[in-house]
Amino acid sequence: MRTGVIGASGYTGGDLVRLLLFHPKAELTCVTSRQFSGKYLSSVHPNLRGITQIKFEEFNVNKISDRCDYIFLGVPHRASMNIVPQLLETGVKIIDLSADFRIKNLETYEYYYGKHEHPELLGKSIYGISELHKEEIKKANLVSCPGCLASSAILGAAPMIGSGAVDLERIVIDSKVGSSASGREFSLSTHHPERANIVRPYKATNHRHTAEMEQELSEVAGKQVKIAFSAHAVDMVRGILTTIHLFLEKELTEKEVWGLFREFYNDEPFIRIIKQKTGIYRLPDPKVIVGTNYCDIGFEIDEHMPRVVVLSALDNLIKGAAGQAVQCMNLMEGIDETTGLKFPGIHPY
Ligand SMILES: NC(=O)c1ccc[n+]([C@@H]2O[C@H](COP(=O)([O-])OP(=O)(O)OC[C@H]3O[C@@H](n4cnc5c(N)ncnc54)[C@H](OP(=O)(O)O)[C@@H]3O)[C@@H](O)[C@H]2O)c1
């Protein structure tokens, strides 16, 4: 597969190129950047020194699409919406990491992100969460990968949503996320003296990812679900820990909850159910999954206030972005979805 990355100078772009360079069935044929055109990829991503001689180039739809079978977009929302239609016309397969084509409902998109220039494409993209939309992704020309917080929330909540035991109008989700989730562009809030040593409630209400969580979990439930979501920035570079409070309308035993998770994820290669009785890593922990395409999910049942507390941990730049995107490409190509992605993290980290 000949692959290209638009916005390759960014953080998701960096992990995309890293994964594609070591993917046994992929070749990285072009990487674009407006700021670094003509410079070596390793001048921005120093971890790639000595590994590739590829240089950044300016985005030019014809030059790029001629050399690619798959193009990934690691650019901000609103930038993608004008690039994707041009690429679609060339017949190349597109995997977009931005939010521009995730939300199917135009009004909802515009509430969170502003005016959409190509609403006709909203219904044409497939939401790129492999565990929920595998068969559709296999046939897709345009895949829109989930947001990183949404990935952890949806993967954690989905198995119990259809159980009939959960109050679907009162789902409470709370995420803690590392600094790389806000990308490579800096601002005062990401400046080290302001960002270090924090547990900052940067979006206690009205977070944009609420829209995609509700969209996807409503589809799983077969009816509209309502989510109260809050996000906190914490002192990590990579990783997300999401805590999901599912209030129970009928009693569930631990064995039954295990059964729901096992049945929903069956043989999913990148979902690990973590619930140990002893040790310091009894439940999902971002420290364990950093650098991997795994999403670790675990739970506890609270008898005091009948609820299941689900914990979900993933690396925002891999399972929450670049890894998930490569997993989608594998599915679109009809090869084993784990190709180029099956490696553990580092321990200790
Ligand atoms: N960071 C995460 O954890 C994460 C997870 C899931 C999804 N995402 C989504 O993935 C996308 C990329 O995120 P990121 O964190 O990689 O951002 P980033 O580090 O800021 O990188 C984005 C890159 O896009 C290019 N760019 C910026 N504005 C552009 C424009 N108007 N037109 C064309 N290119 C432009 C920039 O490269 P040049 O200036 O060099 O051209 C920049 O390096 C975003 O849509 C984000 O929401 C991010």
| Tens-place pLDDT, residues 57-101 | 999 999 999 999 999 999 999 999 999 999 999 999 999 999 999
Query: What are the structure tokens assigned to 252, written together?
Result: 């569930």
Q: Which of 132, 121, 63, 134 is nearest to 92 (CA)?
A: 63
For the CA atoms of 156, 158, 161, 162, the dihedral, rounded to the nearest 10 degrees, stands at -150
pLDDT at site 250: 94
Residue 263 is part of a domain; what is its CATH number?
Answer: 3.30.360.10
**Residue 148 annotated as catalytic:** yes
Cα 192 to Cα 177: distance, rounded to the nearest angstrom? 16
Using CB distances shorter than 6 Å, the residues near ligand 1 are: 7, 9-13, 33-36, 74-77, 79, 97-99, 147-148, 180-181, 183-185, 316-317, 320-321
Cα 283 to Cα 278: distance, rounded to the nearest angstrom? 10
The total number of structural domains that make up the chain: 2
Q: What is the mean pLDDT of residues 286-302?
A: 97
pLDDT at site 253: 96
How many Cα atoms are found within 13 Å in the side-chain-facing hemisphere of 84? 32
Cα 125 to Cα 214: distance, rounded to the nearest angstrom? 17
Q: What is the mean pLDDT of residues 106-116?
A: 97
Cα 269 to ligand 1 centroid, rounded to whole Å = 28
322 pLDDT tier (thresholds 50, 70, 90): very high
pLDDT at site 113: 97
Return the ligand 1 atom nearest residue 56 CA. Answer: 40
For residue 70, what are the domain limits?
A: 2-124
Q: For residues 41 and 160, state if they share a domain.
A: no
Sheet with 295-302: list strands edge to edge. 199-203, 227-234, 166-177, 240-248, 307-314, 295-302, 271-273
Cα 7 to ligand 1 centroid, rounded to whole Å = 6
Buried b (16+ CB within 10 A) or exposed e, 160-195: bbebebbebeebebbbbbbbbbbbeeeeeeeeeeeb
Q: What is the mean pLDDT of residues 288-314?
A: 97
Query: Which is the catalytic residue, given 30, 68, 145, 148?
Result: 148
| Partners of residue 231 on adjacent β-strands | 175, 203
Q: For residues 95 and 169, state if they share a domain.
A: no
Return the ligand 1 atom nearest residue 77 CA. Answer: 45
Share of the chain above pLDDT 90, in %: 99
Q: For residues 264 and 167, state if they share a domain.
A: yes
Cα 75 to ligand 1 centroid, rounded to whole Å = 3
Q: What is the mean pLDDT of residues 325-339?
A: 98
- Identify whether 136 is part of a domain: no
The number of residues making up the chain comes to 349
Choosing from 6, 11, 12 the residue with most ligand 1 atoms within 8 A of its CB, the one to mutate for a pocket test is 12
Q: For residues 154 and 112, state if they share a domain.
A: no
Confidence (pTM):
0.98
Q: For residues 309 and 172, state if they share a domain.
A: yes
Residue 83 is part of a domain; what is its CATH number?
Answer: 3.40.50.720
Cα 10 to ligand 1 centroid, rounded to whole Å = 5
Instruction: Express each pLDDT in 147-179 by its tens digit.
Output: 999 999 999 999 999 899 999 999 999 999 999
Cα 88 to Cα 120: distance, rounded to the nearest angstrom? 13
Please name the residues in contact with 116: beta carbons below 8 A apart, sequence gap of 6 or more: 81, 100, 106, 109, 110, 122
pLDDT at site 303: 95
pLDDT at site 282: 97
Residue-averaged pLDDT of the chain: 97
